[in-house]
Amino acid sequence: MKRNIVLCGFMGCGKSTVGRLLAELTGYTFSDSDEVIERAEGRTIKQIFAENGEEYFRRLESDTVKRLSEGSGLVISTGGGVVLNAENVRLLRETGFVVYLRVSPETVIKRLRNDRSRPLLMRPDRDKAVKELMGNREPLYKAACHAVTDADRGARETARDIMSLYFDKS
Ligand code: S3P
61 CB-contact burial (10 Å; exposed 0-12 / middle 13-18 / buried 19+):
buried
Could you tell me which residues are beta bridge partners of residue 7? 77, 99
Half-sphere exposure of 116 (CA within 13 A, CB side): 1
Q: What is the pLDDT of residues 86-126, one digit of tens each?
A: 999 999 999 999 999 999 999 999 999 999 999 999 999 99
Rounded Cα–Cα distance for residues 54 and 102 (Å): 24
- E strand or H helix at 157: helix 155-169
pLDDT confidence of 170, banded at 50, 70, 90? confident
Would you say the pTM of this structure is higher than 0.85? yes
pLDDT confidence of 169, banded at 50, 70, 90? confident
Choice from 118, 126, 132, 133 to test ligand 1 binding pocket (greatest atom count within 8 A of CB): 118
In order of 112, 115, 137, 148, the CA distances from 21 in angstroms are 20, 22, 25, 17
Choice from 62, 64, 120, 140 to test ligand 1 binding pocket (greatest atom count within 8 A of CB): 120
8 Å CB contact between 159 and 18 = yes
Give me ligand 1 centre to Cα 102, in Å. Answer: 15
Q: What is the pLDDT of residues 17-62, one digit of tens each?
A: 999 999 999 999 999 999 999 999 999 999 999 999 999 999 999 9
